[in-house]
Chain A
Amino acid sequence: MASEPFFSKPVVPSEQGTSQPKIEGPEAQLSASSGVVSHMSSLAVERDVLGMGAMAGLNGEAAGPGSDAEVMLRVKAGDDGAFDYLVQKYRRAMVSFMYRTAHSSAIAEDLAQEVFLRVYRSRETYEASAKFTTWLYRIATNLAVNYTRDTRHERPENTVSLDEPDENSGQTPDVADGTPTAEEAILQRERLAAIRQRVQALPERQRLAVLMHKYQHMDYRQIAEVLKLSESATKSLLFRAYETLRVQLKEFL
């Protein structure tokens, strides 16, 4: 085990040229993730669907040069700087993924850190047989599943709407939107509570699939790999999940 502090050196993973050393905003990842979103159809929402910048699933195919799998192989070989690179690249995605599971930013950070700890612990047995992100999200979904099970009794559905109005980056969403009236703020909070509640009430795999598809912008194929399902099963899983959400959230549409 290397004794140097982690994160000490600025890291550039090999001589790739394609992947970004650091993901600061959605744009960086968008450009790095070729193709998949290049043909926004005319039907696509105008909204910034990539706003979370969590396009984590879309690059780093197999173990090619500059891929994340290749970076992970360097971690395996003892390069802690390479590990730092992966942390910087995916911590945002992991925190947001865990936030929508744990629903508290402190717990989300803990869980996200646990993901990286597991990545690091498992480095010696890492095989680049799958995309790095598939492996990463498997670890994350396992943790999310365990967390949900362990805390199920602590989170009765009707408490969900009452907590942490200012959980997002320390400021209330209300403030960010200018100065909504009190009623607007209440409605907004109700909407948000309903969204959380409905998503979190989905059957486990549907919920995980929605988190990865809607919020991490992963495609069917990759979600299927993470969940060890067929692509068509994943597709129908997501279809049913979105149907449920559409129907249950209808009053807010």
Chain B
Amino acid sequence: MNCNEIRERMPDLVLGMDAATPELHQHLQTCRECAARMAEVRQTMVLLDEWAAPEPSPYFDVRLRARLREEAASAPAGWMQWFRKPALAVSLAVLMVASVTFFRGGNDGRSGNVPEVLAIAEPGSAVGDLQNLDKNHELLYSDFDVLDELQVQPEVNQNP
């Protein structure tokens, strides 16, 4: 067990999430640097404890309940929210334009118009997106994508 291995374990040791082995104890008794580092890590953890967080306020539940109700009440109109997604808004717009064109085309009496219009509505994105939304996943997906992006960043190497 070398110094680096031990230092990596120090946060967990100090937080009580890892148990010190006899070997580790022995190292700390013989290695001054590690012993000093250990003391500092411990002090750092104690210092970090000063940053206390507040308890949830008495209004937390009330407020959450209200927000849930609000959402439940507006659920029938929930489809409006889809317009917040640009891709969907475009898809739906295409669908609407297509519909209008379709009906106009129908009034025209020109039969050749119909397949063309269907082809516009077809791109499938609107329908496909709507189906996806049925799964109700989108709320999470958008955010996970953000997190995924983060992981691509080579931030790991920024701190020597």
Contacts and interface: CB of A to CB of B under 8 A. Distances in A.
A116 B150 contact: no
Contacts of B38: 43
A249 B44 contact: yes
Interface string B1-14: 00000011011111
A9 interface: no
Given A7-B65, A145-B146, A118 B140 contact: yes
A34 interface: no
Interface of B: 7-8, 10-20, 25, 38, 40-57, 59-61, 63-65, 67-69, 71-72, 75, 135-137, 139-140, 143-144, 146-148, 150-151, 155-156, 158-159
Given A120-B68, A122-B136, A249 B55 contact: no
Contacts of B11: 213-214, 238-239, 242
Contact of A122 (B67, B139, B147): B139
Nearest to B70: A117
B71 A117 contact: yes
Contact of A43 (B7, B13, B50, B135): B13
Contacts of A85: none
Contacts of A184: none
Most buried by A among B61, B68, B140: B68
- Binding site of B, secondary structure by majority: helix, strand, loop or mixed? helix
- Binding site of A, secondary structure by majority: helix, strand, loop or mixed? helix
Contact of B159 (A206, A246, A250): A206
Nearest to B160: A240
Nearest to B145: A142
Nearest to B53: A96
Contacts of A191: 47, 50
14 contacts: A41-B16, A43-B20, A96-B53, A105-B54, A109-B57, A122-B140, A125-B135, A142-B140, A146-B143, A195-B47, A203-B155, A206-B159, A213-B15, A219-B17
Interface string A98-124: 011000010011001100111011101
